[in-house]
Amino acid sequence: MKILSPLDSAAEVDQLVDAGAGEFYCGLLDERWHERYPVISMNRRPAGKGHFRTFADLSEAVQRAHDRGAPVYFTLNEHYYSAAQYDLLWQYIDEAIGAGVDAFIVSDFGLIAALQARGCRVPLHCSTGTTVFNRRSIGFFRGLGVVNITLPRHLSVEELRSLSAHAHGIGLTVFILNSRCINVDGFCTFQHGLAGREIPPMYRNACMLPFRVSAFRMQEPEAPQALPPDSCQVRRQKLWERVHVDDHPCGACALLDLHAMDIGSVKIVGRGNPTERKQKDVRFISGLLEDIHTGDGSRERFLQRAREQYAQVYNRSCRPFMCYYPELL
């Protein structure tokens, strides 16, 4: 099982490989795109941190990664691209190929079709944006020649086990750390980063904004009955104001199960994180993978070790609402 690490500069390649990263994913946004589309990304990350700025930088990063035996995947994973964007998109695709990237991470079925129509030979990985929740979806994308699928976040360990049993001839990637989106990423039509940080209501994730919540009982649709504002139904709807999706969510306890399922890669989110944070994340996961390889196979001991390591590395205890796989807690 490899650790798929975020990458946004050539300078951090060696540090992350030394920490245990086996493969990288990255994106690029430069002025050509930003001028035309100031609030729209090419790769699901708003403008700002987390992007390579030039293909020269990317090329250097790819070379360094290849020297260390690690492939680099380039994100073209926006949910849809319009026809008008393709002239610029092809420039980026051609330059990414020139930089030596090992795969494109894609989400838009139109882009998959366009790449194949063009005879593009760069392997394709499905982003979580392709919303593969079942065995037939795996087969559908395998039939399109996709070689890897990043599964959605909202799957349980047992659901992953069911999917992995049908993943013949295609690699599977599973999220393991950070950014546990509350909505299904691939279906969410909210747009992040519509302004800079200086305008928080436009910058922040829409799902986590504070809302005034009104609750209605709908026994008679034409005459809904309002519930009191302090009802538990209302309090539950304000959950996402109390829980931040980036407060170190973690799925490390599932590593033993994921390893047994032959999951190919575990993905750490955080292209925009500082290198030190990326290193910490990679080291945390690689340490536990090492435990799996050298340990006695005891599930109980592994789970205990994972929780102890999480507490030690991130200085916080495991919390069910930050757990990718709360059924394991």
Partner 1 sequence: MTVAAIRGADGIDLMEQALYITRSQQLDYLRDDFSRLYFGAEFCERLIPAVDEALRVAAFAHERGLGLTLMTPYVTDEGLDRLDRLFGAVCSAGMQLEAVFNDWGVLDLLRAEYPDVVPVMGRLLNKTKRGPRIMNIIDKLPPECRDYFESCVLSAAPACDFLKQRSVSRVEFDNQLQGVRLDRTDPVIKKSLYVPYVFVSTTRFCLAAGCDDPACVDYVGVGPCERQCREYVFQLDNPVMCVPLLRRGNVMFYVNGRLPDNLAGSRFDRIVVQPEIPV
Q: Does residue number 317 form part of the binding site for partner 1 (CB under 8 A)?
A: no
Binding residues with partner 1: total (CB under 8 A): 84
CA quadruple 28, 186, 82, 121: dihedral positive or negative?
positive
Distance between CA atoms of residues 16 and 270, nearest Å: 13
Distance between CA atoms of residues 329 and 313, nearest Å: 18
Among 32, 49, 197, 235, binds partner 1 (CB under 8 A): 235
Among 42, 163, 174, 253, binds partner 1 (CB under 8 A): 163
- Please identify, among the stretches 97-105, 171-179, 203-211, 265-273, the one whose residues bind partner 1 according to the rule CB under 8 A: 203-211
Interface positions, 250-289, toward partner 1 (CB under 8 A):
none
CB of 94 to partner 1, least distance (A): 17
Q: Which residues pair with 74 in a beta bridge?
A: 26, 104
Q: Does residue number 90 form part of the binding site for partner 1 (CB under 8 A)?
A: no
Looking at the Cβ atoms of 70 and 250, the one nearer to partner 1 is: 250
Interface positions, 40-59, toward partner 1 (CB under 8 A):
40
Looking at the Cβ atoms of 1 and 155, the one nearer to partner 1 is: 155
Q: Does residue number 84 form part of the binding site for partner 1 (CB under 8 A)?
A: yes
Q: Which residues pair with 112 in a beta bridge?
A: none
Distance between CA atoms of residues 81 and 76, nearest Å: 10
Among 1, 103, 106, 114, binds partner 1 (CB under 8 A): 114
Among 35, 198, 220, 296, binds partner 1 (CB under 8 A): 35
Residue 16 CB coordination number (10 Å): 25
* Torsion angle in degrees (nearest 10) through CA of 120, 123, 128, 134: 110
Q: Is 323 helix (H, G, I), strand (E, B) or coil?
A: strand
